[in-house]
Amino acid sequence: MSMLDFDVLVTEQEQACTTRQFAEDIRAGLDRTGQKELPSKYFYDAVGSALFETISVMPEYGLTRADERVLRRHAGDLAELVAAPVIVCELGSGSGKKTRWILEALSRRERVFYYPIEISASALASCERELAQVDGVSVLGIESEYLDGLSEVAAKRKKGTHLLVLFLGSTIGNFDSGADRRFLQSVRQTLIPGDSLLLGADLVKPLDQLLAAYDDPAGVTAAFNLNLLARINRELDADFNLRQFEHVARFNGSTSSIEMHLRSKKQQTVTIARAEFMVQFREGETIWTESSHKYSADELKTVAAASGFDCKEQWIDQDWQFSESLFIAC
Ligand SMILES: C[S@@+](CC[C@H](N)C(=O)[O-])C[C@H]1O[C@@H](n2cnc3c(N)ncnc32)[C@H](O)[C@@H]1O
């Protein structure tokens, strides 16, 4: 067997393994008694990643612009607060557009090695294209889950280097209550004292502003949500009729979260052939696809402290109420 044949075989095996895991997760989420749910990480195939980029420029979704304003204004402060020499890794970089400000500021003082970690191959490719153009920065993309990628980077670090982990865009809010803390604890276990975490998080704000951000009138967020069913059709040979489901965004006051659901417009049965599974929906029944928790500034410090981090600095965008917190591993 040639090396080329071997590489093709390994890629096919990886793909089969990914599809099997996808099928298992979808089946587990839809087979639940009570609230059906689907893991939000499956939003991000090539179509989902492109739709997320579009959401981030929608007038109602001020979150990404606020995050970018904070990063642009305070990248220089951040570069002064983070110990040198530093290697940067980003969890779920997406297109990485906002990260440019940080890399530019750090590269003014030293050459920077930047590791974006992504499950979406298309998002990772656009991140690599976007940021490879920044002078003094080497981009080394890793297509994997957050913690696997972080461990890979940590294992490669040279003695004496500091690690700066970026987790931007309020992706932390997508973890369930308690899971955010457990996730940050896992991140902390991979770091050593003195390493840093820059954590972006959306803050509580008026309800009408929040609901509009997750249910824009042009229907882009609805398309993003429905694409999850389209992806299951494409990759798992399912027969979801997308016109028989609708996007719902609602606020759950008890968890301070916006929840996105897909509501079945009628009683129906869907077959997911590659998961060897049939699922029934009642009229009005929903699939819970994502939560976006809205934090208070103090809550973030508490969660970080419980995970082994000290808060060094917190920058807040006053127009949209979005925070970037710099935490140091203690
Ligand atoms: C909400 S988007 C945020 C993107 C970017 N950080 C930003 O601030 O605009 C979340 C990103 O994380 C990626 N992602 C989601 N779950 C992941 C996981 N378990 N491991 C690695 N990447 C993941 C998605 O592909 C997506 O690009």
Q: pLDDT of 229-259, one tens digit each? A: 999 999 999 999 999 999 999 999 999 999 9
Distance 171 CA to ligand 1 centre (A): 7
Total number of residues shown for the chain: 330
Alpha carbons 267 and 285: distance in angstroms, whole number: 9
Q: Residue 73 and residue 95: Cα distance in Å, rounded?
A: 20
Structure tokens at 318: 């006053």
Residue 14 has pLDDT above 80, yes or no: no
Residue range 208-224, pLDDT digits in tens: 999 999 999 999 999 99
* 117-141 pLDDT tens trace: 999 999 999 999 999 999 999 999 9
Q: Does residue 101 surpass a pLDDT of 80? A: yes
> How do residues 267-282 score in pLDDT, each as one tens digit?
999 999 999 999 999 9
Alpha-carbon dihedral of residues 268, 271, 275, 281, nearest 10 degrees? Answer: 0
User: Mean pLDDT of all residues in the chain?
Assistant: 95
Q: Whose CA is nearest to atom 7 of ligand 1?
A: 169
**Average pLDDT, integer, range 99-122:** 97
CB distance 61 to ligand 1 below 6 Å = no
> So what's the pLDDT on residue 1?
60
For ligand 1, is residue 145 a contact (CB within 6 Å)? Answer: yes
Q: Is the CB of 94 under 6 A from ligand 1?
A: yes
Distance set, CA 307 to CA 93, 201, 252 (Å): 22, 16, 25
Token pair listed for 65: 């612009």
